[in-house]
Amino acid sequence: MAQYHLRLAHLYGNLLNTYGDEGNILALKYYAQQMGAEIEVQLISIEEDFHADDFDLALFGGGQDYEQLVVSKDLPHKAAELKKFIEADKPLLAICGGYQLLGQYYVDANGQKIPGAGALDHYTLTQSQQRTDSANATRFIGDITIKNKETGQLYHGFENHNGRTFLGPKERPLGIVQEGHGNNGEDQTEGAIYKHTYCSYFHGPILTRNGELAKRMLLQALELKYPTADFSQQKALKIAPTF
């Protein structure tokens, strides 16, 4: 039996899983097993309560405009607990639509301004806003590589998004773009980090190609839940690159 037990909330996983984000859960389970831990997953969807104290990790995936709009209408009922979860330093991974919905607002393809949870400082515009040249008024699609300034690690993935996200003063990027477009195609940032919340436009999914990020999240969750345990062996676990 596993020595450690973690609970993961899959937020709106039945609606926001367009890009195979469930693969991030499979990756977390895989690496958790190597670290002597097991992960119990619970889907939290529309009209279902989310209680921050019940979970150690969370995943907020991406979806199409219609599903994001549906989620945005339910999100106010979960916003306070989401903020509580984030401020408690619990690891959360938000991809694409989930990334946008954690912020202040996003503007959809029809130009409609949709309020987010307000848990993070960023906001998202569409490609057409503030860009008048036809060459740039397109989706950001293609392979992308970024470098995390804190660890020096390179993260590899695939981006496909119409949104242009701009970070707020309390956020730092997940990485600096080495190849690709990133958050907005202008400032060379990709994704966001605030406390132990990680946001990205990487599909693929991100954790299946970047196991060191999965390891980082798992260690943060384990150390928070088991503050007196010795995780030196888990920290020494070698993650083979898969890109």
CATH number for the domain harbouring residue 175: 3.40.50.880
Which residues constitute the domain of residue 95? 4-236
Give how many domains the chain has, as a whole number.
1
What is the average pLDDT across 54-60?
98
Amino acid identity, position 39: I
On whether residue 179 sits in a domain, the answer given is yes
On whether residue 142 sits in a domain, the answer given is yes
pLDDT at 240 over 60: yes
Instruction: Give tens-digit pLDDT for 72-94.
Output: 999 999 999 999 999 999 999 99
Interstrand relation of 140-147 and 154-161 (parallel, antiparallel or unpaired): antiparallel
Say how far apart CA 11 and CA 101 lie, in whole Å: 11
Instruction: Label residue 36 left, alpha or beta by phi (over 0 means left) and psi (-120 to 50 means alpha).
Output: left
On whether residue 242 sits in a domain, the answer given is no
Question: If you ran DSSP here, which 8-state letter would residue 112 be given?
Answer: -
pLDDT at 97 over 90: yes
**Is 139 among the annotated ligand-binding positions?**
yes
Tokens of 98: 């989930």
Prediction pTM value:
0.94
SS3 83: helix
On whether residue 168 sits in a domain, the answer given is yes
On whether residue 241 sits in a domain, the answer given is no
8 A C-beta contact, residue 168 and residue 140: no
**Catalytic site positions:** 96, 203
On whether residue 11 sits in a domain, the answer given is yes
Instruction: Enumerate the H helices of 44-185 as residue ranges.
Output: 65-74, 79-87, 97-102
pLDDT at 133 over 50: no
Tokens of 139: 């989706």
On whether residue 138 sits in a domain, the answer given is yes
Predicted local confidence at residue 20, as pLDDT: 82
Greatest mean pLDDT range, 21-25, 73-77, 131-135: 73-77
On whether residue 169 sits in a domain, the answer given is yes
Of 15-29, 145-159, 222-236, give the lowest mean pLDDT range.
15-29
Say how far apart CA 17 and CA 54 lie, in whole Å: 22
- Nearest C-alpha neighbor of 116 from the set 170, 146, 75, 167: 75
Length of the chain: 243
What is the average pLDDT across 204-219?
95
